[in-house]
Amino acid sequence: MPGFNSPKLLADASPQELREAQRHCAKVARQAAGNFYYAFIFLPLEQRSGIEALYAFCRAGDDAIDENVQINPAGKLDELAERLDICYELKYIDPNTLALADAIQRFGFERPVFNELLAGLRADLTMHSYANFAELRRYCYCVASTIGLHCLKIFGADTEPARNYAEHLGIGMQLTNILRDLREDYNRGRIYLPVDEMKRFSCTPDDLFTEENLGRLKALTLRMADTAEGYFARADELLPRELYRKLTVARIMGRIYRQILQKIKSLERFDQRVELTPVSKLAAAYQVLTEGETL
């Protein structure tokens, strides 16, 4: 493939080479997956290596958008798509593609779902605002729910009810991300708050973070937080009873993000990113792990 050295066959990778590739992805997750990592650690090794390979791919996409603004992010996403092509040929060129190709073979990730994820990442190159919530919801589905759909393959829980659950959980989590990163995204020239909602609360891009606008921004943020809460609540309703245990890690992720959302709702200013402490994340995981079988 142009731009890459000759890919190697996945079947020719030695067990040691595969283990090293998986350790590489585990290191990426450990360093960058600040919230997800506290759910990953409760997975069996095979599932954990699969989700870490998936995370490393998603991290590369985020980095192409957020950190490489001066070095052709569109080209970086094109390269990422080409690397994905290699993986679906069950070939590899480096540790990331080796681990992902192995995960694709083991878990059967669907390529159209990756295409939607890439479409969501590409939207960040051209879409700097969203006219209404319907547009924003589609974006959230592409960059978050798609990852949840892949995770269902890893969890052995890929059913239609579980897909509905993953879709709603992903949208709730991405809306939380948006509220958490308001100022950071604003500094990158992106405002994910729907334009029609901003108008409803008399906010404009120019005055969004001014002292005079703090009250209106707070009200708008609470409105969007309620929308996110609605998606989390609907996900709880859709959680398939028969897959309760298999979806433990997804439930931990949801619990952590709901706690982040509660902290966002308590803010008076939005200059800094909300984070949970490691102890709080582990406590959230413990709560999920010790819950009874009834919802």
DSSP, collapsed to helix, strand or coil, labels residue 94 as coil
Would you tell me the crossing angle of helices 111-126 and 146-155 to the nearest 10 degrees?
Answer: 150
Same domain, 138 and 278: yes
- pLDDT band for 32, please (50, 70, 90 cuts): confident
Same structural domain, 147 and 285: yes
CA dist., res. 171 & res. 138, Å (int): 9
47 and 153 in a single domain? The answer is no
CA distance 203 to 190: 15
Three-class SS state of 261:
helix
Are 17 and 102 part of one and the same domain?
yes
**Residue 122 domain flag:** no
Is 270 contained in some domain? Answer: yes
pTM of the prediction? 0.93
The CA distance from 101 to 121, in Å, is: 21
Q: Do 252 and 285 meet the contact criterion of CB atoms below 8 Å apart?
A: yes
- Position 9: which residue type? L
**DSSP secondary structure of 40-64:** HTTS-HHHHHHHHHHHHHHHHHHHH
Residue 106 has pLDDT above 50, yes or no: yes
- Whether pLDDT at 4 is above 70: no
Q: Give me the pLDDT at residue 54, please.
A: 97
Q: 61 and 163 share a domain?
A: no
pLDDT band at 1 (very low <50, low <70, confident <90, very high): very low
Q: Is residue 118 part of a domain?
A: no
Does the pLDDT value for residue 292 go beyond 70?
Answer: no
Dihedrals φ, ψ of 8, to 5°? Answer: -100, 155
Count of domains in the chain? 2
Does some domain include residue 197?
yes
Q: Inform me whether the pLDDT recorded for 295 exceeds 90.
A: no
Tokens representing 11? 């079947």
How far is 143 from 129, CA to CA, in rounded Å? 15
Band (pLDDT 50/70/90 cuts) for residue 64 is confident
Q: Residue 69's pLDDT is what?
A: 52
CATH assignment at residue 135: 1.10.600.10
Q: How confident is the model at residue 283 (pLDDT cuts 50, 70, 90)?
A: very high
CB-based contact 7:1 (threshold 8 Å):
yes
Query: Could you give the percent of the chain with pLDDT greater than 70?
Result: 96
Residue 44 and residue 73 in one domain: yes
Q: Which of 109, 140, 162 is the last residue of a domain?
A: 109
User: Is 21 inside a domain boundary?
Assistant: yes
Q: Structural domain of residue 132, as residue ranges? A: 127-295
